Amino acid sequence: MGRTLAEKIIARAAGRSSVEPGEIVTCKVDLAMVHDSSGPRRHKAMLNQLGAKPWDVSRIVVVTDHYVPAFDADSAAILDLTRKWVRDEGVANFYDMQGICHVILPERGHLRPGIFAVGGDSHSPMAGAWGCFMFGIGATEMCGVLVTGDIWLKVPPTHQVRWAGRLGEGLAAKDIMLTLCREMGLGTVRYGVVEYVGPAIAALSMPERMVLTNMSAELGAQTGLIAPDQTTVEALAAAGVIVSDALSWQSDADAAFAKVWDFDASRLEPQVAAPHSPENAAPVGDYPGVKIDQCYIGACTGAKLDDLRMAASILRGRTVARGTRLLVAPASQRILAAAAADGTLAALTAAGAILMPSGCGACAGYGAGVLAEGEVCLSSTARNFKGRMGHPGSSVYLGSPYTVAASAVTGRITDPRPQLAEKVAA
């Protein structure tokens, strides 16, 4: 019997020729990532109590992205503690206010197909778009990893999700993912792996693939994976990473999957998830007349360069509706620079978008951009749980950057396709 991609990566990390779902194995960690919220503020005291030091600082990446820029004395203290710990321990891979951790990892060349990694954040599966097995862990587990470089794992089953066809105009990976949240359910693949395959997946850019693996966490999966292809190899090279065996990391043709799911991207409509769960997804036309106070294009899933360009394709020559605010928080400083260089940023701000700092920000309910009681937001982020973006009495809908931008123009939840069609006709 063949092996899945997940089983191959776990077997290598465990020093085994093969592993089976359900087995408990101990794996060597290739990379450990923490951010300002999950990192030194939580594990420093534990390490001090143990009298322990990090096992290998070259394999640790630290990113400040949740509390940046500091918005009160407490957040400033957390950032100060993080910076001092990094300095004292000699962690060279430190990215201070440079962007969101999940975007920083591939952007700065830390990801390679076949590696086994852990992150102090639930959306760490985003690295799976690059053929990496990466999953989120808590502070106590991370402390163990930082001391030993090892972690135990129950080998998860893999669900294969196949997408035929190709996305139409005005649709994005977020529409695929919201469909999966509705059709598969948020707990169906709990502690399993979701591997995405098919022509529609192969046609996606790397930033779009990252949306799928990131939001595998919403399905309850331990991680999501997309096997490397030429698109992956080219993106790695652009980040300065050359991997000779990148294309060898594939599931075998006769690998056993827990379940195979089939979908057709060509039949997909833009999707919107209603409060308070990504599972509450439906075609955008099911939300006629829903008025929006705030539109938010941000977070690791929703403010990459591709996302900003999607929004700009709608907003060029248009203006944000009176009574609606559009906030844009680019996912990294490099993305901000690229958007400024190619005119994307100018298109967004000319339409009335308000530029926010790179970081997690309002997505996680930190700092500027949070919602008041009774306010309604349409967001390109991954989650819309009650109270996540501010007051528990606020309401957050989720959509693609196309849908968020189109809705900012009308002030109501809006199908982006007619606005794109108008652009083509013009």
**CATH of the structural domain 271-425, one choice from 3.20.20.70, 3.20.20.140, 3.30.930.10, 3.30.499.10:** 3.30.499.10
What's the pLDDT score for residue 309? 98
Q: What is the SS3 string spanning 272-315?
A: EECCCCCCCEEEHHHCCCCECCEEEECCCCCCCHHHHHHHHHHH
pLDDT at 424 over 80: no
For the segment 233-259, what is each residue's pLDDT rounded down to a tens digit? 999 999 999 999 999 999 999 999 999
pLDDT at 425 over 80: no
Q: What is the mean pLDDT of the chain?
A: 96
Tell me which of 153 and 367 has the higher pLDDT. Answer: 153
Sequence ranges of the domains in the chain: 5-264, 271-425
The structure tokens 């019997």 sit at: 1
Confidence category of residue 188, pLDDT binned at 50, 70, 90: confident
Distance in angstroms (rounded) separating the CA atoms of residues 152 and 118 = 11
- What mean pLDDT comes out for the span 11-20? 97
Is it true that 5-264 and 271-425 share their CATH fold? yes
Query: Nearest to residue 303, comparing CAs of 269, 276, 327?
Result: 327
Confidence category of residue 195, pLDDT binned at 50, 70, 90: very high
- What mean pLDDT comes out for the span 316-332? 97
What's the pLDDT score for residue 426? 61
**CATH of the structural domain 5-264, one choice from 3.30.499.10, 2.40.100.10, 3.40.50.20, 3.40.50.10860:** 3.30.499.10
